């Protein structure tokens, strides 16, 4: 039997450890895919945890302490797995809850997306308790789509349910300008595109701009890019060169052990 880990502060969690958390939604998290005991973009995950802790709690654990908690769970799990780490308050201190599970990958695609006008609360933080990331995809599936994409009150694309969005103008990667969580995969891809010399830019993208674009993808910790072929009733070209570029950028990021 394959065993995965549920740890609190680097040690196996007990029922007593976990019971209070069932009713404690004030926490933040990061999620990653571990392959052969290694992670791409580990520094971005540590930065995310540190930044969110300071914003939500006014204090942050040392990176090495967080890394030690991650390492204990990775060492107790199969070489390939998905890992989720939550940070929450426990009195005057912060605790780290880490859970590992079978490895995950993104959908095969290409996907159809339904637009929804929505702006997440504190979009720059990956906090827990956000029902929207499940509610709107279910609404989208009920209406014949695969998932949902968000537009803000100014009508700009920001992100999708559990994904970042990226577009292709035929020459450059276009990252939407708007309120969003800058995902760790997005961070990895952007810096590797820079190192590869691939053009990229940030711009406002609205539904009316879609006919002039040459491709679109969603990306998150599970995948550096899944093609989108339709947003609402507007067809979007499936751009294999664009998808390949993003996957190539991700592969160029060296994986490291926690």
Residue 200 falls inside a structural domain? yes
Looking at the fold, whether 177 and 117 belong to one and the same domain comes out as yes
- pLDDT tier at 50, thresholds 50, 70, 90: very high
Q: What are the φ and ψ backbone dihedral angles of 62, each rounded to 5 degrees? A: -60, 145
pLDDT at 142: 98
pLDDT at 1 over 80: no
188 vs 193: CA distance, rounded Å: 9
137 vs 146: CA distance, rounded Å: 7
CB 167 within 8 A of CB 199: no
Number of domains in the chain: 2
- Average predicted confidence (pLDDT) for the chain: 96
pLDDT at 2: 82
CB 198 within 8 A of CB 249: yes
pLDDT at 17 over 80: yes
pLDDT at 24 over 90: no
Full residue range of the structural domain in which residue 223 is found: 111-251
Looking at the fold, whether 237 and 140 belong to one and the same domain comes out as yes
pLDDT at 132: 85
In the chain, beta strands by DSSP E: 6-8, 11-12, 27-34, 81-90, 93-101, 111-117, 147-151, 157-160, 164-168, 173-176, 200-203, 215-220, 223-231, 234-235
250 vs 258: CA distance, rounded Å: 18
- Burial state string for 8-27 with b = 16 or more CB within 10 A and e = fewer than 16: bbbeebeeebeeebeeeeeb
pLDDT at 106: 92
Looking at the fold, whether 222 and 140 belong to one and the same domain comes out as yes
Please state the pTM of the whole predicted model: 0.95
Looking at the fold, whether 136 and 244 belong to one and the same domain comes out as yes
> In angstroms, how far is CA 199 from the centroid of its own chain?
22
Residue 23 falls inside a structural domain? yes
Range picked from 8-22, 49-63, 120-134 for highest mean pLDDT: 49-63
Closest CA to 127 of 88, 185, 82, 166: 88
- Tell me which of 39 and 125 has the higher pLDDT: 39
pLDDT at 102 over 90: yes
Looking at the fold, whether 34 and 143 belong to one and the same domain comes out as no
Average confidence (pLDDT) over 167-187: 97
Strand-by-strand arrangement of the 81-90 sheet: 11-12, 6-8, 93-101, 81-90, 27-34
pLDDT at 73 over 80: yes
CATH of the domain at 24: 3.30.470.10
pLDDT at 25: 73
DSSP β-bridge partners for residue 253: none
Between strands 234-235 and 81-90, the pairing is unpaired
pLDDT at 88: 95
Looking at the fold, whether 126 and 229 belong to one and the same domain comes out as yes
pLDDT at 219: 98
pLDDT at 41: 98
Looking at the fold, whether 209 and 92 belong to one and the same domain comes out as no
- Structure tokens, 112: 């159809």
**Last residue of one domain, picked from the residues 47, 77, 101:** 101
pLDDT at 22 over 80: no
CB 110 within 8 A of CB 36: no
The rounded percent of the chain whose pLDDT value lies above 70 is: 100
State the CB neighbour count (10 A cutoff) for residue 89: 15
Tell me which residue has tokens 């190539």: 248
pLDDT per residue as tens digits for the range 218-241: 999 999 999 999 999 999 999 999
pLDDT at 23: 73
214 vs 158: CA distance, rounded Å: 18
């Amino acid at each position: 039997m394959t065993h995965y880990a549920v740890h609190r502060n680097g040690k196996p969690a007990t029922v007593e450890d976990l019971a209070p958390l069932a009713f404690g939604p004030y926490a933040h998290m990061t999620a990653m895919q571990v392959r052969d005991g290694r992670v791409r973009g580990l520094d971005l995950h540590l930065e995310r945890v540190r930044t969110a802790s300071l914003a939500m709690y006014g204090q942050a654990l040392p990176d090495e302490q967080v890394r030690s908690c991650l390492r204990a769970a990775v060492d107790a799990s199969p070489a390939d797995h998905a890992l989720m780490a939550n940070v929450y308050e426990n009195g005057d201190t912060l605790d780290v809850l880490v859970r590992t599970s079978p490895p995950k990958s993104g959908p095969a695609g290409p996907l159809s997306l339904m637009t929804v006008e929505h702006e997440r609360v504190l979009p720059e933080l990956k906090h827990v308790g956000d029902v929207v990331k499940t509610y709107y995809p279910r609404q989208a599936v009920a209406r014949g789509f695969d998932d949902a994409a968000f537009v803000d009150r100014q009508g700009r694309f920001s992100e999708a349910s559990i994904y970042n969005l990226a577009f292709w103008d035929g020459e450059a990667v276009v990252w939407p300008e708007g309120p969003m969580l800058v995902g760790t995969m997005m961070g990895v891809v952007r810096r590797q595109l820079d190192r590869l010399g691939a053009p990229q830019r940030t711009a406002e993208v609205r539904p009316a701009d879609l006919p002039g674009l040459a491709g679109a993808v969603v990306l998150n910790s599970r995948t550096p890019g899944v093609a989108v072929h339709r947003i609402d009733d507007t067809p979007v070209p499936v751009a294999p060169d664009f998808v390949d570029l993003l996957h190539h950028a991700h592969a160029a990021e060296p994986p490291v052990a926690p």
